[in-house]
Amino acid sequence: MAISVANAPCSYGAFEFTVGIDPNVPDGVALLNQVSTAGYAGIDLGPVGYLGTGRALHDRLAARGLVLAGGYVPLPFPDPAAFADEIGYLDALLDIFDAAPDGPPPRPTLADSGSPARRAAPGGGGHDPSLSLDAAGWRNFADSVARAAERCRKRGYEPAFHHHTGTYIEGVAEIEQLLELTDVNLCLDTGHLLVGGGEPAKGLRDWAERINHVHLKDARRDIVAGIVADAAPLEEIWRRRAFCALGQGDVGMEDVLSAITDIGYSGWLIVEQDIFPDPTEPPGRAAADQAANREWLRARGI
């Protein structure tokens, strides 16, 4: 497929840290209407069940001309017992994929679920090696990733692995270790890579042969630096709005788009501007922000 542009529920305040927890999370059907109206071709699934399941989800997407681009699967990869207990979440996500409208197969987007120590030190993977896994942890991690990837492939889906703030795959060295120890390809997230101390355009070029999915988000270094300086927990990334509108942060989005072109990337660009719901904001702000993000890309020929 050529490049297609999608959005994700996290841009509207709906993700694993808010759905079923925050009463201000927007309605899933209303969110689909907003994504479609803004001109996106696809949508990420968000937490299993949030946008619907089975025929209901199929019909909701088809009625709005949306394709299911992928779905985020956080799992405790370094802990074999916990991984065995939670792998059923991946099965539930793949069941939903099976019911999606026709289109490119959605991308199971695997991610580590982190730990209290990692969530207490967002960005730490980029500068504090003591936070990383030991040799045994890496062996367990690689084995669990291989098992999850096999599960996806047996059902006809090729996974991607998402490096993420507050998890064991955050800094550049951790990403490169993952790529060395596994055969799973990478979901490069421009915002999370910046938080983890990397340079997004360089990451796209360095790992070009292993990138099969892209989450496109901008981020502000000053807010991230403040969170790190305060030793603030992971939730502050969203509470302080470290992720901002495309072109308004420090990711170097023009360079990122040039790198995407240079490496010949083909697939989904999933626009994300993760936020916590804020009932004090004007109604419709998130929808307006995501419409503006789509226009920002359209003005650059995407």
Q: What is the pLDDT of residues 7-20, one digit of tens each?
A: 999 999 999 999 99
3-state secondary structure 108-174: EEEEECCCHHHHCCCCHHHCCHHHCCCHHHHHHHHHHHHHHHHHHHHCCCCCEEECCCCCCCCCHHH
Could you tell me the residue ranges of all domains in the chain?
4-298
- The topology (CATH level 3) of 4-298 is TIM Barrel (3.20.20)
**Spatial separation of the C-alpha atoms in residues 56 and 41, rounded to whole Å:** 19
CA–CA distance, 234 with 129 (Å, rounded to integer): 18
pLDDT per position as a tens digit, 118-148: 999 999 999 999 999 999 999 999 999 999 9
Of the candidates 295, 214, 294, the residue with the CA atom closest to the CA atom of residue 261 = 214
**pLDDT single digits (tens) 176-212:** 999 999 999 999 999 999 999 999 999 999 999 999 9
Strands 211-216 and 185-189: parallel
Per-position b or e across 108-145, b if 16+ CB within 10 A of its CB: bbbbbbbbeebbebbbbbbeeeebbbeeeebebbbbbb
- Read off the pLDDT of residues 92-114 as tens digits, 9 standing for 90 and up: 999 999 989 888 999 999 999 99
10-68: per-residue pLDDT in tens?
999 999 999 999 999 999 999 999 999 999 999 999 999 999 999 999 999 999 999 99
